[in-house]
Amino acid sequence: MKEALKVGVSGVRGVVGDSFTPQVAASFAQAFGTFVGRGAVVVARDTRPSGAMIERAVVAGLQSVGCKPILAGVVPSPTALILTKALGARGGIVITASHNPSPWNALKFVERTGLFLSETRAQELFDIYHQQDFPLVPESDIPAAAVETEPMETHFQRVLDYVNADLIRKKSFKVAVDCCNGVGALHTVPFLERLLGCKVVPVFDKPSGFFEREPEPLPENLRQLCETVVKEKCDLGFAQDPDGDRLAIVNEKGEPIGEDLTLAFAIQQVLSHHSQGPVAINLCTSRSVELAARQCGSEVVRTKIGEINVCETMLKIGAVVGGENIGGVIIPAIHPCRDSYAGMAIVLEHLAMSGKTVSELRAAIPRFFLVKDKIRIRGEQAPVILRALRQEFAGEKMNLLDGVYIDFGESWVHVRRSNTEPVIRITAESPSQDEARRLVSGTRAKVESAI
């Protein structure tokens, strides 16, 4: 086996044809069906070529323990979460490896509340899985699968109910969209054209699962989108990841503004025109996002990294908007999940109400410089390194929710262990690029001396 199966809070991931087999998928579906109890379970997938194979294994697994699969088909992850809650289903299984490369696929598990499983709930599920003793139902109790014929309706209606769609339609924005050959290739053009009155120029819009660019919507992966914005004289460009939960923006000059800024725009618009209230963002989100929220008079709470962690904090403190630095906009009034469709609508509303261009809006937000680095380690070295850093920075303002986060006022540095690779990630941000670089290299030296 080249790549081991990865079982963690974000679900079960593996390489298809290697560790991620239909047997594994069926067993996890049985464990999940046992976990949530007999009843309806939403099954959704992204465009990966292995999705159809895994979907069948999941369906069989669910039926064998008496759960009725509701097939949502190829839809964005946020749509599956919204559908699970709206249908009153027992839970949901989303078949997507999100921004991982094509060879990967994964199962992600959804609570009846429409949230992904929390860490403790995920542990309970894995406990059931490892016992491999699933209560199978007799033949006469096997439920037939059902197909959800209008899976997008509830999701899109929620978004339209939240924003001022008439105002957006009046502007007839011209938008370039990079769907990354993912779920957006099926749903984003109709969303923007039919529902929000945009003129759309799509890029990578074959829903093939063969990703023609790197799947993360990072600035360096969006060259084709940037060129299209310039050539077609678009008002802006949107880039999605393969399962449609993350969103990055390209300005009218064809420059990516960075995924952090998607969140800043959304926060400004929600706080100024929808509702006032606290904001939750993860630890490594840019200080510029935090400042954008504070300018609107909101309290900002930092959370652990990971969608479910941000969502749980948001629900606890009653946050009105928030998200993750990777372009994950969360507006709980629509649904507590990362949602690129909510993101697109709120950003277009921001443009429509302000009458400004993307670059003008960007200029009004303080600029910070982010520098990232990573060091390959052996797994067992991580706690040693983090302990050493805690001692080194003992006098500083520290947040230990997720690794070590040191707050120097205008600058910060964050050191954490990756959930997916044997590496230590160092991230620093500062109003000065030199200062950010200095923070990273200084911290790197401290990590290396600890090894």
Partner 1 sequence: MRTLRVSSFGIRGFVGESLAPKVLIDFASAFATFAEGRRVLIGRDTRYSSPMIHSAVVSGLLSAGCEVIDFGICPTPIVQFSVVPMKAAGALSISGGHNPMGWNALTLIGSDGSLLSPLGGENVLDVFHAGDFRKEDWQHMGTVLNASDFTAPYFDALEKHIHVDAIRKAGFTVLIDPVGGAGCSFLEPFAARFGFSLVPINAQPSGYLAREAEPRPRSALQMASIIQRLGGHVGFVLSSDMGRMSLVTEDGEPASEEYTFAVIADHVLGRRAGTIVANCCTTRAIDDIARRRNSTVVKTPVGQAYVVSALMDEQGILGGEGSGSVALPGFSRAFDGFLMMALVLEAMAEKGKPLSEMIRGLPHYHIVKRRVLCDSRKGYRALEVLRGRLEKRGDGHADLTDGIRVDWEDGWVHARVSQTEQMIRVISEARNRAVAEQRAEETSRVIEQEV
Q: Which is nearer to partner 1, 103 or 219 (CB)?
A: 103
* Residues between 354 and 413 with contacts to partner 1, criterion CB under 8 A: none
* Residues between 60 and 89 with contacts to partner 1, criterion CB under 8 A: 60-61, 63-64
Q: What's the length of the chain? A: 451
* Residues between 210 and 229 with contacts to partner 1, criterion CB under 8 A: 210
Residue from 53, 333, 353, 423 touching partner 1 (CB under 8 A): that is 53
Q: Using DSSP, state whether 214 is helix, strand or coil.
A: coil
Residue ranges of the alpha helices (H) in 355-432? 358-363, 381-392
Read off φ and ψ for residue 294, nearest 5 degrees: -65, -35
State in angstroms the smallest separation of the CB of 35 from partner 1: 16
Asked if 42 and 88 touch (Cβ cutoff 8 Å), the reply is no
Catalytic residues: 98
Asked if 138 interacts with partner 1 (CB under 8 A), we say yes
Asked if 239 and 260 touch (Cβ cutoff 8 Å), the reply is no
- Work out the burial of residue 220: count CB atoms within 10 Å of its CB; fewer than 13 is exposed, 13-18 middle, 19 or more buried: exposed
- Six-digit token string for 34: 């046992």
Q: Which is nearer to partner 1, 27 or 340 (CB)?
A: 27
Asked if 100 interacts with partner 1 (CB under 8 A), we say no
Residue from 3, 4, 23, 421 touching partner 1 (CB under 8 A): that is 23
Q: Which positions ≥6 away from 88 have C-beta within 8 Å?
A: 40, 112
State the Cα–Cα distance between residues 332 and 320, nearest whole angstrom: 6
Q: Select the span of 74-82, 114-122, 133-141, 428-436 touching partner 1 (CB under 8 A).
A: 133-141
Residue from 9, 42, 44, 57 touching partner 1 (CB under 8 A): that is 57
Asked if 34 interacts with partner 1 (CB under 8 A), we say no
Find the helix or strand (DSSP H, E) in which 201 lies.
strand 199-203
Residue from 56, 274, 438, 444 touching partner 1 (CB under 8 A): that is 56
Q: Cβ–Cβ contacts within 10 Å for residue 253, how many?
A: 12
Find the helix or strand (DSSP H, E) in which 167 lies.
helix 165-171
Q: Select the span of 74-82, 139-147, 159-167, 174-182 touching partner 1 (CB under 8 A).
A: 139-147
Asked if 49 interacts with partner 1 (CB under 8 A), we say yes
Asked if 288 and 268 touch (Cβ cutoff 8 Å), the reply is no
Residue closest to 78 by CA, chosen among 202, 207, 182, 206: 182
Residue from 7, 12, 41, 54 touching partner 1 (CB under 8 A): that is 54
User: How many residues of this chain bind partner 1 (CB under 8 A)?
Assistant: 41
Q: Which is nearer to partner 1, 128 or 317 (CB)?
A: 128
Q: Which is nearer to partner 1, 181 or 430 (CB)?
A: 181
State the Cα–Cα distance between residues 286 and 170, nearest whole angstrom: 33
Q: Which is nearer to partner 1, 181 or 228 (CB)?
A: 181
Asked if 102 interacts with partner 1 (CB under 8 A), we say yes
State the Cα–Cα distance between residues 341 and 134, nearest whole angstrom: 38
Q: Which is nearer to partner 1, 207 or 209 (CB)?
A: 209
Asked if 279 and 267 touch (Cβ cutoff 8 Å), the reply is yes
Q: Using DSSP, state whether 277 is helix, strand or coil.
A: coil
Q: Select the span of 59-67, 163-171, 329-337, 436-444 touching partner 1 (CB under 8 A).
A: 59-67
Q: Which is nearer to partner 1, 62 or 280 (CB)?
A: 62
Read off φ and ψ for residue 431, nearest 5 degrees: -65, -20
Residue from 9, 12, 25, 236 touching partner 1 (CB under 8 A): that is 25
Residue from 8, 22, 197, 219 touching partner 1 (CB under 8 A): that is 22
Place of tokens 């050191």: 415
Summarize as ranges the residues that interact with partner 1 (CB under 8 A).
Answer: 15-18, 21-23, 25-27, 29-30, 48-50, 52-57, 59-61, 63-64, 102-103, 105, 134, 136-142, 144-145, 209-210
